[in-house]
């Protein structure tokens, strides 16, 4: 089966082993160590690491379409945010009458804006199963409609990148409006419960961290299963020689559409896991700058590797956490400079550097070669 094939690959086994080992170590250090110990991992750190894993899943989704399909999408931030809003709507409905205004149905921002009834698109989000389906369905439908129109029209290259960025910017402007019914500029916040568990307890935060790690592993295996299947080989053919693939009879637009929709759904799952850990979702997640930043993560880690995208996402966001506290005004310039340096000196990213070093070690002879007969006589 195509989905189990990656589990027999050494690279996938190493990735999953490292990921689950990290989850186990963090869980052990958070639960078993006393708070005054130097090895103790605080709840804040657990939440921060969970945020990194959400970004890693988003980076894997971008690498699937950019690395293996050749589509530089600058709109995956929109799919990430839509999945986050779907989860945020469910969490807002769970507040009930515990809000500031005590309305059992309307969220606080709707009461403040004098809304009289719940909008139709909020119906059903009081049920967890419906919200979880919408986490996948909402970004998937948007990607399906957008991709159908774009790929059928054979829009490629920089033009497709510009269109995806325009889509993200348009959605950001729309969600900033209070009339949309998504909280306007402030977004959705003040979450209390998820599936009956208090979001403000350390146990729930640890559970979300573990759930994010499991989601990352599943997303990685799905992507790896796609790229190692016949569909993945056709995707690479479409990336390298789209006209030739069309000439051979492949429906390139259908291949592109399927992979694009799967990638959008993974981005939506990442956004849904991001929201309860961060505690807020607002239109700034639609920012085109955020989508460009995701591309930088993938470029730094290495395109068309999947695990390189995870490395890039974790490293860049860790650096962002550190340097925004030290030099917040210069972080964006540092990020831009990092992208330029990686493009010039590491065109294949960190994963490519590791692969070249490993190949170089394999090419080196283990034992010195014996001299030839002529050299021995001399």
Q: What is the pLDDT of residues 337-352, one digit of tens each?
A: 877 887 788 778 888 8
Domain boundaries, the chain: 44-357
Predicted local confidence at residue 360, as pLDDT: 67
Predicted local confidence at residue 343, as pLDDT: 76
CA 75-81-84 angle, to 5 degrees, is 150
Report CA dihedral (320, 203, 22, 331) to the nearest 10 degrees: 0
Predicted local confidence at residue 366, as pLDDT: 53
Instruction: Report which of 351, 312, 354, 304 is spatially closest to residue 335, judged by C-alpha positions.
Output: 312
* 43-52 pLDDT, tens digit each: 999 999 999 9
pLDDT at 42 over 60: yes
Alpha helices in 153-201 (DSSP H): 157-175
Enclosing H/E stretch for 281: strand 280-281
Residue 259 CB contacts under 8 Å (≥ 6 apart), including other chains: 64, 65, 68, 69, 226, 231, 235
* 132-180 pLDDT, tens digit each: 999 999 999 999 999 999 998 888 888 899 999 999 999 999 999 988 9
* 220-238 pLDDT, tens digit each: 999 999 999 999 999 999 9
* 245-263 pLDDT, tens digit each: 989 888 999 999 999 999 9
Confidence band, pLDDT 50/70/90 cuts, at residue 362: low
Predicted local confidence at residue 375, as pLDDT: 44
Confidence band, pLDDT 50/70/90 cuts, at residue 370: very low
Alpha helices in 279-303 (DSSP H): 288-301
Mean pLDDT for all residues in the chain: 88
Would you call 327 helix, strand, or coil by DSSP?
coil
Percent of the chain exceeding pLDDT 90 equals 58
Strands 188-189 and 193-194: unpaired
* Cα 58 to Cα 272: distance, rounded to the nearest angstrom: 11
* Cα 6 to Cα 64: distance, rounded to the nearest angstrom: 15
């Amino acid at each position: 089966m195509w989905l189990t094939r990656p589990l027999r690959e050494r690279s996938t086994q190493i990735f999953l082993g490292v990921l689950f080992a990290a989850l186990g170590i963090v869980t052990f250090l958070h639960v078993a160590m006393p708070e005054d110990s130097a090895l103790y991992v605080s709840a804040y750190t657990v939440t921060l690491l969970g945020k990194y894993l959400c970004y890693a899943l988003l980076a894997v989704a971008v690498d699937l379409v950019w690395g293996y399909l050749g589509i530089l999408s600058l709109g995956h931030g929109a799919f990430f945010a839509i999945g986050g809003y779907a989860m945020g709507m469910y969490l807002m409905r769970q507040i009930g009458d515990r809000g500031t205004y005590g309305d059992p149905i309307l969220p606080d921002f709707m009461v403040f804006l004098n809304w009289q009834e719940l909008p139709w698109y909020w119906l059903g989000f009081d049920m967890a199963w419906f919200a979880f389906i919408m986490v996948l369905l909402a970004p998937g439908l948007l990607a399906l409609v957008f991709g159908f129109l774009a790929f059928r029209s054979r829009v490629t290259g920089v033009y497709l990148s510009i269109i995806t960025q325009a889509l993200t910017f348009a959605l950001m402007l729309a969600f900033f409006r209070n009339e949309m019914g998504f909280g306007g500029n402030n977004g959705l916040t003040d979450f209390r419960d998820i599936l009956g568990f208090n979001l403000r307890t350390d146990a729930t935060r640890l559970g979300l961290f573990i759930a994010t790690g499991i989601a990352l592993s599943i997303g990685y295996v799905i992507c790896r299963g796609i790229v190692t299947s016949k569909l993945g080989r056709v995707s690479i053919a479409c990336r390298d020689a789209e006209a030739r693939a069309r000439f051979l009879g492949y429906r390139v637009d259908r291949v592109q559409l399927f992979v694009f929709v799967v990638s959008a759904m993974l981005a939506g799952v990442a956004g849904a896991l991001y929201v309860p850990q961060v505690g807020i979702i607002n239109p700034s997640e639609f920012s085109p700058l955020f989508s460009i930043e995701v591309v930088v993560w993938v470029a730094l880690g290495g395109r068309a590797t999947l695990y390189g995208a995870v490395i890039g996402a974790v490293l860049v966001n860790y650096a962002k956490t550190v340097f925004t506290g030290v030099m917040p005004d210069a972080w964006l310039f540092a990020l831009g400079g990092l992208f330029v340096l990686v493009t010039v000196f590491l065109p294949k990213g960190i994963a490519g550097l590791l692969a070249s070093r490993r190949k170089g070690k394999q090419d080196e002879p283990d034992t010195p070669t014996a001299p030839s007969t002529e050299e021995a006589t001399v």
